[in-house]
Amino acid sequence: MKVEMIMPQMGESITEGTILKWLKKEGDVVEKDELILEISTDKVDSEIPTPVPGKLFKILAQEGDVVEVGKPIAIIETEGQVKESASERPKMAEAASASETETTEQVKADAPEVPATKIGKRKGKRFYSPVVMNIARENNISMDELERIEGSGLDGRVTKKDVLKYMEAKKSPESAAAYQAPSKVAFDKNAVEIIPMDNMRKRIAEHMVHSKHTSAHVSLYTEADMQNVANIIERNKTAFKKREGFSLTYTPFIVEATVKALKEFPLLNASIDGDNIVVKKFYNIGIAVALENGLIVPNIFEADTKNLIGLARSLHDIAWRARSKKLLPDEIQNGTFSISNFGVFGTVIGYPIINQPQVAILGVGAVKKRPVVINDAIAIRPIMYLSLTIDHRLIDGAMGSQFLERVREYLESYDPNMVV
């Protein structure tokens, strides 16, 4: 029998996804739960497993296509009945089973191929999905016009949204002019490299620009003496790594100190909704994780309920799953405050952009040994710069400064003999 694999529900607010890459090709045999493709949404990129074992009979959605949740993206040919219940299906890739009477002709009807002669021959190597070709044929869009449409899909491919946007723009001569092929610039083509933005980089760009347009950004910074925390790490590092399987770092101490300070300054754990201030009574701390092609901010939910070891475990878990594309979309939503630890790359200080709709973000620099004055004497201590970017619509400089100093005080007040 043939089973439809549908675009999975990637989160409560997700209505569509982009096919990034098929990991299997038509005709390949797949096992149940074997990774079959990569999907991107405006929240997260995820690797999706196949819902049933069998053979990848037909791919209905091509790389770069934007597909609504619940729509079929592939057909898997499997032997016998599929008897698993909905609760047994993978959460990230539920599939709707096709009836036994479904025919190949019915499958083709969902994604008919359009003869190129209807709209002209393809001139270059640019790929157009059947959906795009259908829309072009039905609306008398020539191949020359298609070639001029700017694609937002993978590797610049034209998606359904791109074509619909182009059709809307054609109604206005001024808007349509924006889609004309750009004039040539005289330069050596070998002197530049054109790299199309991938989906994640586009989303980061949109999110950052949106944040700057939304919030009145103001930045503050202080420096923290990390000697006590450094002593704790040194005393516990061998036993901790042997027990937990990963190294103890400064970050869980920073998260714990931040949560304590947020409880004293609740407006920094809030958001703005029109003319209302929404103060959160829970503490979901977003941690910026650098990926190969961008950045993602998964949350440690209810961070105030975890001790130092629990925070360390959560940090290790979300960082590993973020880099392995194992995060769930809901894990990067509903954060209340974020921390960006650029110090792991050696950067001493920076001023991160607020993660909307939050009203503040803490920047963490590298811990560096520096000469400092302590009790009128010069000593060498591990010093870390902390920066705080606040939304001045809600947080004034005085409150932001007090919060930042409170974080510093908590970090400096750890017992150096503490056992972790």
Decide: 221 and 281 in contact? Cβ < 8 Å: no
Q: Would you say residue 232 lies in a domain?
A: yes
Q: Specify if 418 maps to a domain.
A: no
* Burial track 251-279 (b if 16+ CB lie within 10 A, e otherwise): bbbbbbbbbebbeebebbbbbbeeeeeee
pLDDT greater than 60 at residue 218: yes
| CATH number where 99 lies | 2.40.50.100
* 417 belongs to a structural domain: no
Query: 156 with 207, same domain?
Result: no
CA–CA dist 1, 78 (Å, integer): 6
Burial of 48 (0-12, 13-18, 19+ CB in 10 A): buried
Tell me, what CATH number does 246's domain have? 3.30.559.10
Is the previous residue joined to 266 through a cis bond, with omega within 30 degrees of 0?
A: no
Do 303 and 253 share a structural domain? yes
Could you tell me which residue, 121 or 147, shows the higher pLDDT? 147
pLDDT at 21: 87
Are residues 142 and 257 part of one domain? Answer: no
Report the alpha-carbon distance of residue 166 to residue 171 in Å, rounded.
9
Q: Which two tokens stand for residue 352?
A: 């991160």
From CA 362, how far away is CA 352, in angstroms rounded? 8
Overall number of domains in the chain:
3
- Listed residues 129, 157, 189: the one ending a domain: 189
CB-count exposure of residue 92 (10 Å: 0-12, 13-18, 19+) = middle
Most distant CA pair in the chain, distance: 87
pLDDT bin (cut points 50, 70, 90) of residue 176 is low
Q: How confident is the model at residue 287 (pLDDT cuts 50, 70, 90)?
A: very high
Q: What is the pLDDT of residues 37-72, one digit of tens each?
A: 888 876 677 878 888 899 999 999 998 888 888 899
| Sheet containing strand 285-287, strands side by side | 217-225, 377-391, 360-374, 337-340, 285-287, 299-300
- Report whether pLDDT(88) > 60: no
pTM metric for this prediction:
0.62
* 196 within some domain: no
pLDDT > 70 in the chain, percent: 81
**Measuring CA to CA, which residue among 320, 276, 280 is closest to residue 301?**
280
Range in 121-135, 157-171, 266-280, 302-316 the model is least confident about: 121-135
Q: Which residues contact 98 (CB under 8 A, 6 or more apart)?
A: 1, 2, 3, 4, 75
The pLDDT assigned to 104 comes to: 35
Q: Grade residue 118 by pLDDT with cuts at 50, 70 and 90.
A: very low
User: Is the CB of residue 296 less than 8 Å from the CB of residue 44?
Assistant: yes
If we measure between CA atoms, which residue out of 155, 152, 174, 173 comes closest to residue 163?
A: 152
What is the crossing angle of helices 227-244 and 397-412, to 10°? 60
Same domain for 183 and 319: no
Same domain, 18 and 96: yes
216: in domain: yes
Q: What is the pLDDT of residue 131?
A: 67
Domain span at residue 312 reads 201-412
**Is the domain of 88 the same as that of 158?**
no
Q: Counting every residue, how long is the chain?
A: 420
Q: Are residues 137 and 239 in the same domain?
A: no
Question: Which stretch of 119-123, 187-191, 368-372, 392-396 has the lowest confidence by average pLDDT?
Answer: 119-123
135 and 246 belong to one structural domain: no
Is residue 268 a part of any domain in this protein?
yes
Q: How far, CA to CA in Å, does 177 sit from each of 165, 173, 311, 412?
A: 13, 6, 54, 60
Same domain, 151 and 97: no
Shared domain check, 185 and 128: yes
Among 110, 144, 177, residue at a domain's last position: 110
Q: Is residue 101 part of a domain?
A: yes
Active site residues: 392, 396
User: Other CB atoms closer than 10 Å to residue 85's CB: what's the count?
Assistant: 6
Looking at residue 397, the DSSP 8-state letter turns out to be H
Interval 240-259 mean pLDDT: 97
Q: Are residues 227 and 185 in the same domain?
A: no
Look at residue 385 and tell me whether its pLDDT is greater than 90. Answer: yes
Q: Are residues 341 and 214 in the same domain?
A: yes
**Average confidence score pLDDT of the chain:** 83
Q: What is the DSSP letter of 46?
A: E
Whole-number pLDDT of residue 105:
36
Beta bridge partners of 272: 277
Domain end position, chosen among 144, 161, 189: 189
